[in-house]
A and B are shown apart, each in its own frame.
Chain A
Amino acid sequence: MQTPVIEIKDLRKTYKGNGVPAVDRLSLSVPCGEIFGLLGPNGAGKTTIIHILCGLSSSDGGEVTICGYPLKTGLKEIKRLIGVVPQDIALYPTLTAYENLKIFGSILGLKGAALNNRINELLRFFGLEHSKHRRIGKYSGGMKRRINLIAGLLHQPKVLFLDEPTVGIDVQSKNLILENLKEINRNGSTIIYTSHYMEEAEALCTQIAFIDEGKLICTGTSAALIAQSNGCVTLEMLYLQLTGKHLRD
């Protein structure tokens, strides 16, 4: 069995003024080198889990270890090893793509020619080389998504957190992003991925965990989970079977 790159034990989080826990005694292990899908309906607790793992939110209890570093004491080291692609575009709209990447790359510890080469390499990889001197505010939605992704990849992170990276973009951009994510994973990055697109998750993820109401429902490969289910033939059917058809707001 592969070494877990992320180990979560009994994680708890309840937001102030909200009686229902966002994460309820969740334990999970993410093996190294996987594309790990965290799937669940709105409000299931996916983004909260990612926020806790990235140090954006504090937990109320439990233990988390990332790349061997405990989250509570080793956040500084963890931040050097992880890459985060937030759900919303997290870029400076008045700066160009190149300026954005140069700033984030420098903060991540890259410098000089190495930084420049890495920026150009990733821009080429995601088909944005020719528009690198255009301001982000002038980019299309798909272009912004790609730059948002590149900003999390600059330092070749060991663990990459992707919070719904393909929301609101065209098929071409989505296809390019997914293909490139597989390539990035082959180059050694473990990917933690959240999405509402079940087809996309089925095609991309090597391991899946279903989460609802802050709890882990089940985990495994998509094929194994479908096989164990009660007559489901797609991940989407399984998802509806596990989480129900009632609306979540």
Chain B
Amino acid sequence: MGKLRALIYKDSLLLRRDRAGLCMMFLMPMLLVVVMTYLQDSTFNSIRETRIPLLLLNNDHDTLGIAMERQIEASGIFTVSRNIDGKDELVRAVARGDYMIGIIIPENTTRNIRKNVKRYVVSAFNGENLTANTDSVLVEIYIDPVTKNSFRSTLMSNLREYAVRTESDFIFNEITEEVDKLSPIPVSGLQLARNQVIFKEQYAMPDKNNAIPNSTQHNIPAWSMFALFFITISLSGSLIKEREDGSFTRLQTMPCPYHLYILSKVAVYLFVCLLQLVTIILLGMYLFPVLELPSLTLGSHKLLLLPVGICSALAAIGYGIAIGQIASSHQQAAIFASISVVIMAAIGGIWIPVFAMPQSVQWISAVSPLNWGLEGFYDVFIRDGNCWSVLPECITSILFAAACFALAIIYDKKRV
């Protein structure tokens, strides 16, 4: 025990004296979690609050065109501008990036739709089929080329919804008017209830869970995992530094078993990882509301954070020790550790949810230790899981750590 205590004392002193390393381990993840959550949160806010600049060229000037214009304005998403002379100018303005979107409602849109409806109703009363001979109306939409695909899809789906709503209202009114002309019983007076199908959106969670999935609930676990694995750079570096400055050689000549040397690293870095985790959680709970970000809610099984945190930290520590043991120089370890962690984070769902990844990549994410930890944290933070739900992730993380420690020990023996 005396030896282990001495080694822990040594490792904690070395860490305390490495100010830059400590900053990297604590300040960088904190900064990362704040920036990423803020960015994600503000993306939604920018749509809701900032409003998207839209250039509208309404060549219809009749009921449907005006109704579509009003619907777009009433959505609250767009700032509508109409100072435009023609199609070419509209396209140029959008291409320049002055507007994110440009819409051209063609001439005679109302008249054409009205004509179509009239033909439909008349032919319906006469028992004819007219489906093949309708004149459709082409509303042109131009989008700024720099707009991301995901955002473009959201925009288009919103616009389509407004257009369909306006069009159906208009067609409904037109049909009732036409039917009134032809039918002895007027139908326009009928109070037909609209929007009878109501969507109730809610998260599938147990009743007692008070955690609302939001950017904070997603980002804190994701970036906590990233931060945990970021210590591999410092940890592998410390192993190589000890080898390079000869102090590890001295330890090898002393009655100091390698497993004690590793155990001391595990103890010190586990403490660092847990401190890191607590810091990020406290940041989410107390600093985020001050920054007008959603506050972090821990869920009803808070204590499960400890096993998930410990197992994920052990996986990260094992990985760092294995890299430190195998790499032959500080640069090699730093480059490999940082790139591999970024790749494991990317495939592990830290930046993009796993379900949104291509099918071929999804199975790879299942072998990322960051994904195991992330799923474990999601179980606690969002899904309100219990011991059994976090057990698989904890076991896989521990097995990964054990494999890494074994690899380090084998390499150490090989080196002698």
Q: Which of B1-22 contact A (CB under 8 A)?
A: 2-3, 5-7, 9-10, 13-14, 17-18
Would A84 and B5 count as touching, CB distance under 8 A? no
Q: Are A95 and B245 in contact (CB under 8 A)?
A: no
Q: In the complex, what's the smallest C-beta–C-beta distance from A100 to chain B, in angstroms? A: 8
A92 and B255 form a contact (CB under 8 A): no
Instruction: List A contacts of B81 (CB < 8 A).
Output: none
B361 within 8 A of A: no
Contact B245 A84 (CB under 8 A): no
- Which residues in chain B, 173-228, are within 8 Å of chain A measured between CB atoms? none
Bound-complex Cα distance A11 to B32 (A)? 57
Flag whether B246 is at the interface (Cβ < 8 A): yes
Within A132-154, the residues touching B (CB, 8 Å) are 151
B272 smallest CB distance to A (angstroms): 17
Q: Which listed residue, B9, B18, B249, touches A103 by the CB 8 Å rule?
A: B9
By secondary structure, the B interface counts as helix
A57 interface contact, C-beta 8 A: yes
CA distance A45 to B254 in the complex (A): 22
A75-83, A164-172, A189-197, A217-225: which lies at the interface? A75-83
Which B residues between 119 and 150 are near A, CB-CB below 8 angstroms? none
Which residues of B lie under 8 Å from residue A94 when comparing CB positions?
13-14, 17-18
| Complex contacts, A70 vs chain B, CB 8 Å | none
Residue among B242, B245, B251, B416 with the highest chain A CB neighbour number at 10 A: B245
Render A96-114 as a binary contact track against B, CB cut-off 8 A, 1 for contact.
Answer: 0001001110111101000
The answer on a CB contact under 8 Å between A58 and B416 is: yes
Give A89 to B256 CA distance when docked, in angstroms: 19
B250 within 8 A of partner (CB) = yes
By size class, the interface of chain B is 20 to 34
Does A91 contact B14, Cβ atoms closer than 8 Å?
no
Q: How far is the CA of A76 from the CA of B253 in the complex (A)?
A: 10
Which residues from chain B contact A88 at a C-beta distance below 8 Å?
A: 246
A103 to B: closest C-beta gap in Å: 5
Q: Please pick, from A76, A95, A111, the residue contacting B255 in the complex, using a CB distance under 8 A.
A: A76
Q: Name the residue of chain B whose CB is nearest to the CB of A103.
A: B10
Residue B252 at the A interface, CB < 8 A? yes
A203 at the interface (CB under 8 A from B): no
Known: A79-B254, A107-B254. 7 other contacts (CB 8 A): A56-B253, A82-B253, A86-B250, A90-B249, A91-B246, A109-B3, A111-B2
Residues of B within 8 A of A (CB): 2-3, 5-7, 9-10, 13-14, 17-18, 242, 245-247, 249-256, 416
26 cross-chain CB contacts under 8 A: A55-B252, A55-B253, A56-B249, A56-B252, A56-B253, A56-B416, A76-B255, A84-B250, A84-B253, A86-B249, A90-B245, A90-B250, A91-B247, A92-B14, A92-B242, A93-B245, A94-B18, A95-B10, A95-B17, A103-B7, A103-B9, A104-B254, A106-B5, A107-B251, A108-B255, A109-B255
